[in-house]
Structure 1
Amino acid sequence: MGTNNFKEQIKPFFWVEHESTVSVCLNVGEYKTEIFQSREDEGFEGNGYDWESLARVFIEEQAPNFVESVDFDSEGSMFCAYSEDKEALKEFILQFKKVCENEVLIMDLFSRTELD
């Protein structure tokens, strides 16, 4: 898979390479905000921590193979997942993005997401 094609596929998530790790990040508030709005009354804002909580449920239920290889370093304005294993992180974000695009599946996962 070409790098440009990959970067297109994961948009609006974006890929960042560091010396020993790689990250995939998302500036919050520009993608799938309706997911979090559905539970706004419970305190979900769609911030980086909410995205991270959702991603953790995804890994736990759909992709346990990433438990060891993918870590998170989110903040209020940005979701961020990182890994020393470039291929694992690529697989993770491709699968997670696919789930985000499946409204039924993402809302199902979000129903079991807890506020951080």
Structure 2
Amino acid sequence: MDINNFAAAIEPFFWVEHESTISVCLTVGEYKTEIFQSREDEGFEGNGYDWESLARVFIDEQAPELSESIDFDSEGSMFCAYSSDKEALKKFILQFKEACENKKLIMDLFSHAELD
């Protein structure tokens, strides 16, 4: 997959290459807000930490082979996953984005997420 097709496939997430690591990020607040609204009475806001909780559940339940390769550095306004393993991060974001587009799956995964 060329870089333009890859960028389009993961939108609205975006890919950032650094000197020794690679990040995939999301500016929160516009994509899939309904996921987090489903549990706002529990304190979920859809911020970067909430996205990180969802991503951790996704890895635990759907891609445990990536758990040693992917780290997180989210903030309130931004979700961020990073790795020194480019292929592992690509695999993660392509699968995670696909899961986000599957309403039944993503809502099931989110039901296991814990508030940070």
TM-score, structure 2 length as denominator?
A: 0.99
- Is structure 2 residue 68 aligned with structure 1 residue 68? yes
Q: Distance in 2 between matches of 1:30 and 1:40?
A: 15
Deviation of 1:98 after TM superposition, in Å, equals 0.2
Q: Distance in 1 between matches of 2:92 and 2:65?
A: 9
Q: Deviations over 1:18-48 (max 9, x none)?
A: 0000000000001000000000000000000
Deviation of 1:14 after TM superposition, in Å, equals 0.2
Cα RMSD between the aligned structures?
0.3
Q: Distance in 2 between matches of 1:71 and 1:4?
A: 25
Residue in 2 that maps onto 1:35: 35
Deviation of 1:61 after TM superposition, in Å, equals 0.5
Ranges in structure 1 where 5+ consecutive residues have no aligned partner: none
Residue in 2 that maps onto 1:51: 51
Ranges in structure 2 where 5+ consecutive residues have no aligned partner: none
Detail structure 1 runs of 4+ shifted over 3 Å in the superposition. Answer: none
Deviation of 1:114 after TM superposition, in Å, equals 0.6
TM-score, structure 1 length as denominator?
A: 0.99
Residue in 2 that maps onto 1:97: 97
Matches for 1:6-45 after TM superposition, within 5 Å: 6-45=6-45
Instruction: Name the count of aligned residue pairs.
Output: 116
Residue in 1 that maps onto 2:2: 2
Q: Give the partner amino acid of 1:87.
A: E
Q: Distance in 2 between matches of 1:66 and 1:115?
A: 22
Q: Distance in 1 between matches of 2:109 and 2:22?
A: 25
Aligned sequence identity (%): 82
What secondary structure is seen at the aligned counterpart in 2 of 1:45? coil
Deviation of 1:58 after TM superposition, in Å, equals 0.3
